[in-house]
A = this chain, B = another copy of it.
């Protein structure tokens, strides 16, 4: 089983990248797309993010055997409703949302009777919108698929093959485990980055100009993540609330312990903590999940 026609609803960073990647890596597959924003549709058409940009979601999904919702998690219900009547019988519905339990519920409710297998490619940049996508976004990244218990094995296999064709590595797990894992590898990091950038912006003793000038001391790393799409991230925190609060609680306890070590001038405790965090970076690089060059290979070290 292979998907012959893929419809993409939502043509931002993720939707646009899927469209470009399908056209590049699965050239026999037809692509249609829709976005509620008219300017995004126009730009998607100019950039040829999909072969055919449609004026309605219903038109985009007609005849598609795979429909992928690429909208913020909180917009899934509104995006799905208009296509319910237009879905081809037997079509598979999927998505790219960063939280999976709530999306599974939402899509199943909005599309009664449809086959839904949620997915989450763990890939992205800080940019968003129809100009942000590129075909290589998923290369070497993991795509987590969270099939419901009654998922059709053939459809699951076809969805896995689809993502692998786009360059991703596929892992299958339950939606609730996904939500716990991503709470720590993605959601908590974003929450912390948004927080510290806000903290630095609010200081009276240190000017914003100083924060910007001396950001190369470490702060600038956090600003990249904190420049991510606000709507998407609001929805992530609302939809994966329990797991995020749980991870945040652990983080706060650990931060309090380090705070106490600083207050007590406990150099050994600080040294021990700072030593054991090095190994995980090495593993991430060995697994091909980050750039091995110093400072991510930033251009200031490479003549750029």
- B-binding residues in A (CB < 8 A): 74, 98, 122-127, 132, 134, 136-137, 139-142, 144, 171, 180-182, 184-203, 205-206, 208, 210-228, 230-231, 233-235, 237-238, 241, 244-245, 247-248, 250-252, 254-255, 258-259, 262-263, 265, 267, 270-271, 273-278, 280-284, 287, 289-291, 293-301, 303-304
Contact = CB atoms under 8 A, between A and B. Distances in A.
27 contacts: A122-B214, A124-B217, A125-B295, A132-B294, A134-B301, A137-B301, A142-B213, A184-B219, A185-B214, A186-B217, A187-B217, A189-B217, A194-B277, A195-B254, A197-B280, A201-B276, A201-B277, A208-B283, A223-B277, A223-B290, A224-B290, A226-B274, A237-B270, A238-B267, A241-B265, A248-B255, A252-B252
A215 B265 contact: no
Given A184-B211, A221-B222, A241-B263, 18 more contacts: A139-B300, A142-B213, A142-B216, A184-B203, A185-B200, A185-B219, A188-B199, A194-B277, A195-B254, A196-B254, A201-B280, A221-B225, A223-B281, A223-B284, A231-B271, A245-B262, A291-B298, A295-B296
Nearest to A229: B274
Dominant secondary structure at the A interface: helix
Contacts of A270: 230, 233-234, 237-238
A244 B216 contact: no
A244 B218 contact: no
A303 B191 CA distance: 30
A299 B294 CA distance: 12
A298 to B, nearest CB: 4
Nearest to A121: B216
A144 B214 contact: yes
